[in-house]
């Protein structure tokens, strides 16, 4: 029974990471990355660091962070980047906007915060990397009794 719960939890984390990460990267980050030069001068600047640097941070979160989260390679780092980007969008750029305009960003924030808190689960590239390095999972040799 515990194995089934563990399997279910890991599959849910995989699906959540993959769906949210791919959607964030494809629908939001890719366009900003592809049209960086055209958007750099007029991008919103919620932190007061300049439009170009705000766009750079948005690309870091929406594209690179989302890819990390989706694959589970440094997934918590990626989830942190997505969470911060979503929070800035919600509480600064979309502050006071109708709920329908904020809805997708609330979902991105909730999903990325969930991954940040729970981790990426067993089906992630981090698990593969750590197993290859012999640092985690079931690849570490178990001590033998004498």
Asked whether the beta carbons of 69 and 20 are under 8 A apart, the reply is: yes
- Read off the pLDDT band of 84 (50, 70, 90): very high
- Read off the pLDDT band of 143 (50, 70, 90): very low
Q: CA 132, 81, 134 angle in degrees (round to 5)?
A: 10
Distance, in Å, from the CA atom of 21 to the CA atom of 75, rounded to the nearest integer, reads 10
Against a cut of 0.75, is the pTM above it?
A: yes
Backbone φ, ψ for residue 44 (5° rounding)? -55, 145
- Read off the pLDDT band of 104 (50, 70, 90): very high
Q: Is the pLDDT of residue 86 over 80?
A: yes
How confident is the prediction for the chain on average, in pLDDT? Answer: 91
Q: Is the pLDDT of residue 19 over 90?
A: yes
Reported as a single tens digit per residue, the pLDDT across 28-59 is 999 999 999 999 999 999 999 999 999 999 99
Integer distance in angstroms from the first to the last C-alpha of the chain?
Answer: 32
């Amino acid at each position: 029974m515990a194995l089934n719960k563990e399997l279910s939890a890991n599959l849910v984390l995989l699906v959540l990471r993959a769906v949210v990460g791919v959607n964030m990267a494809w629908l939001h980050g890719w366009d900003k990355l592809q049209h960086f030069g055209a958007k750099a001068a007029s991008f919103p600047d919620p932190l007061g660091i300049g439009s170009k640097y705000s766009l750079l941070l948005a690309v870091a979160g929406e594209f690179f962070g989302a890819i990390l989260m989706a694959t589970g390679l440094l997934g918590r780092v990626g989830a942190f980047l997505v969470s911060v980007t979503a929070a800035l969008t919600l509480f600064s750029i979309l502050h006071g906007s109708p709920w329908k305009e904020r809805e997708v960003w609330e979902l991105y924030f909730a999903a990325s915060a969930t991954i940040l808190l729970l981790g990426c689960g067993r089906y992630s590239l981090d698990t593969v990397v750590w197993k290859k390095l012999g640092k985690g999972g079931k690849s570490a040799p178990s001590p033998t009794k004498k």
